[in-house]
């Protein structure tokens, strides 16, 4: 149909313009308008009329961006290739032979990235920014001393509560020659402990066990341990536990922290009834009727927090190569009475292991000591290599087992008949091999094996 004017969308017809003849666009008269422009009624804007009838004044459907192109215009146009418009490079073209390559429009990867960024709304950009900041914080945390300080603080990681005393420089070359091997053993042991404390935030105290006149034969020989522990308790006021380590030890699994390995579940690991494993055949518990109930019970008072001395036993008795002492008044008293001249005078000929035997004597006869002593299974902190304690062959309670990834190896007695350096070297290499990082594992277990299968050559990556 052809009209001289466009039909009005308004239901009543007509255009909202006062000068216009209302009826002029129609071919047939309509209702509602009497006659022509001679009517005296004022012209109403259509929308005001609608508002009076109710409604918000806006249409209830979205009238903009309703076509396909208008909805997706931004996305489509941003993914189309862009070209240099004339005049965008004011400098001479010849100078820019290679330089324009990195401009964002030409490099495909950067261009795509820019396109993706362009498409993103602000919320998405903020979320990605937060994610990157979090990742950055995590990377910074683990690659700076922050993680060390976290692990060290007593209320976060608790590392300050532990002090490791490492006995070094045994003999000091006074009675025996200290040659290259002895130096190498000492270097390896010290380096191993230093790395361990650096990782977990403990303190390391390396003490000099050279033969001193003060501890010379007939006078407190080998009781320096006690004095060193006392000094360490004083030097590290925040320390709660002191761990004494002999020199011929190696921490095989540095990823175990002391807290996770032992102390967070102390009551699960420590046993106080020596009858569980009693190489010395000490009668336990004490049965004298004049003793208090805690002294007469096999578990002491049953409270794990009263254990102030934790030590392992080996095949022949207590082993003081690796043991823990807690700071407490009880410990002060123990360190005080551990050496006594009357006891020493009577017993030092018998006491082959000196302060170790003295402690066994104290444990056997003094109820106040027994009440606060606990034992750990030997392989938890003091595994032996196959040469030590091997009169009865390999003992699963004593000897180091690679499958179980024992924590620490104590090459005790290696200076009598065994090769100290060889053992230390082997355990060091074994520890490195067991604790390879994922990249090394990938190289050695995957790439090198495939290479071997393909070419028959063993290659070291």
Q: Which residues contact other proteins (rule: CB under 8 A)? A: 6, 9, 16, 45-48, 51, 56-59, 63-64, 155-156, 158, 240, 259, 263-264, 266, 288-293, 303, 305-306, 328-330, 332-333, 336-337, 340-343, 346-347, 361, 365-369
As measured in angstroms, the least distance from the Cβ of 125 to other proteins is: 17
Tokens 């022509």, located at residue? 36
Nearer to other proteins, 340 or 401 (CB): 340
ω into residue 285 within 30 of 0, thus cis? yes
Instruction: State the nearest-atom distance from the C-beta of 300 to other proteins, in Å.
Output: 11
CB of 350 to other proteins, least distance (A): 11
Nearer of residues 57 and 393 to other proteins, judged by Cβ? 57
Residue 327: CB minimum distance to other proteins, A: 10
- Which DSSP category does 375 fall into? E
204 or 266, CB closer to other proteins? 266
Least gap, CB of 366 to other proteins (angstroms): 5
CB 202 within 8 A of CB 162: yes
* Alpha-carbon torsion, ordered 41, 47, 53, 56, to 10 deg: -160
Q: Which of 323, 310, 364, 361 is nearest to 340 (CA)?
A: 361
Is 3 or 180 the residue whose CB approaches other proteins more closely?
A: 3
Alpha-carbon distance of 307 to 136, in angstroms, equals 43
Tokens found for residue 446: 């995957």
- CA gap 162, 201 in Å, rounded: 9
For 419, the token pair is 């090769």
The answer to whether 9 touches 26, Cβ cutoff 8 Å, is: no
Q: Single out the residue of 438, 409, 404 nearest to residue 426, CA to CA.
A: 409
Burial label for 438, CB within 10 Å (0-12, 13-18, 19+), is exposed
Residues 6+ apart with CB under 8 A from 356: 317, 318, 319, 320
Q: Of 42 and 293, which CB lies nearer to other proteins in the complex structure?
A: 293
Q: Compare residues 288 and 391 and give the one whose CB is closer to other proteins.
A: 288
Query: What is the maximum span of the chain, computed from C-alpha positions, in angstroms?
Result: 140
Report in angstroms how near the CB of residue 294 gets to other proteins at its nearest. 10
- The H-or-E segment that residue 362 falls in is helix 355-365
- Please, which residue, 107 or 130, has the CB nearer to other proteins? 130
Question: How far is 397 from 405, CA to CA, in rounded Å?
Answer: 14
Closer residue to other proteins in complex, CB, 215/425:
215
Hunting for tokens 């606990």 — which residue is that?
374
Smaller CB distance to other proteins: residue 17 or 457?
A: 17
**Residue 57 Cβ, how far from other proteins at the closest point, in Å?**
6
Name the minimum Å distance from CB 365 to other proteins.
Answer: 6
The set of residues, in sequence order, having a beta carbon less than 8 Å from that of 314 and lying 6+ positions away, is 279, 378, 382, 384, 388, 389, 398, 412
The whole-angstrom separation of Cα 148 and Cα 165 is 20
Residues 170 and 185: their CA atoms lie apart, in Å, by: 11
Q: How far is the CB of 268 from other proteins (least distance, A)?
A: 13
Least Å distance, CB 194 to other proteins, is: 25
Is 115 or 343 the residue whose CB approaches other proteins more closely?
343
Which of 333, 443 has the CB closer to other proteins? 333
C-alpha torsion angle, residues 264, 267, 271, 272 (rounded to 10) = 120
Where do runs of H (alpha helix) occur along 84-211? 108-119, 122-143, 146-152, 180-200
Shortest distance (Å) from residue 122 CB to other proteins: 14
Label the pairing between strands 241-245 and 162-171: parallel
Q: How far is the CB of 67 from other proteins (least distance, A)?
A: 10
Asked if residue 250 lies in contact with residue 431, where contact means CB atoms within 8 angstroms, the answer is yes
Would you say 16 or 282 has its CB closer to other proteins?
16
């Amino acid at each position: 149909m052809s009209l001289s004017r466009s039909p009005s969308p308004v239901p009543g017809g007509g255009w909202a313009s006062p000068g216009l003849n209302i009826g002029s666009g129609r071919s047939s008269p309509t209702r509602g308008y009497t006659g022509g422009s001679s009517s005296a009624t004022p012209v109403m804007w259509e929308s005001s009329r609608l508002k009076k009838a109710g409604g918000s004044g806006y249409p209830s459907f979205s009238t903009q961006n309703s076509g396909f192109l208008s909805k997706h215009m931004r996305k489509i146009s941003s993914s189309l290739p862009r070209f240099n418009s004339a005049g965008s490079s004011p400098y001479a073209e010849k100078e820019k032979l290679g330089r324009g390559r990195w401009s964002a429009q030409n490099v495909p990867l950067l261009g795509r990235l820019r396109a993706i960024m362009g498409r993103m709304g602000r919320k998405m950009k903020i979320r990605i920014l937060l994610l990157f900041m979090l990742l950055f914080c995590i990377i910074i945390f683990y690659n700076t001393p922050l993680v060390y300080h976290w692990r060290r603080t007593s209320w976060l990681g608790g590392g300050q509560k532990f002090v490791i005393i490492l006995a070094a420089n045994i003999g000091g070359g006074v009675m025996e020659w200290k040659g290259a091997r002895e130096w190498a053993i000492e270097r390896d042991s010290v380096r191993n402990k230093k790395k361990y404390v650096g990782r977990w935030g403990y303190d390391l105290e390396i003490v000099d066990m050279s033969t001193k006149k003060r501890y010379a034969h007939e006078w407190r020989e080998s009781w320096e341990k006690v004095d060193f522990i006392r000094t360490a308790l004083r030097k590290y006021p925040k320390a709660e536990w002191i761990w004494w380590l002999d020199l011929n030890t190696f921490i095989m699994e540095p990823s175990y922290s002391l807290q996770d390995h032992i102390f967070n579940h102390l009551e699960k690991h420590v046993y106080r009834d020596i009858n569980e494993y009693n190489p010395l055949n000490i009668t336990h518990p004490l049965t004298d009727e004049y003793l208090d109930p805690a002294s007469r019970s096999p578990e002491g008072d049953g409270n794990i927090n009263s254990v102030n001395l934790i030590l392992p036993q080996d095949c022949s008795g207590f082993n003081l190569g690796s043991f823990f002492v807690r700071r407490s008044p009880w410990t002060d008293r123990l360190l005080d009475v551990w050496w006594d001249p009357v006891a020493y005078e009577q017993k030092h000929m018998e006491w082959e292991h000196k302060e170790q035997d003295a402690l066994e004597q104290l444990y056997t006869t003094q109820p106040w000591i027994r009440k606060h002593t606990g034992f750990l299974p030997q392989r938890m902190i003091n595994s032996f290599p196959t040469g030590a304690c091997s009169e009865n062959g390999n003992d699963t309670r004593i000897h180091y087992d690679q499958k179980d990834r024992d924590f620490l190896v104590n090459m005790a007695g290696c200076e009598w008949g065994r090769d100290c350096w060889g053992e230390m070297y082997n355990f060091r290499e074994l520890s490195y091999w067991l604790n390879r990082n994922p990249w090394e594992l990938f190289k050695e277990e995957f790439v090198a094996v495939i290479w071997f299968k393909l070419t028959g050559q063993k290659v070291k990556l």
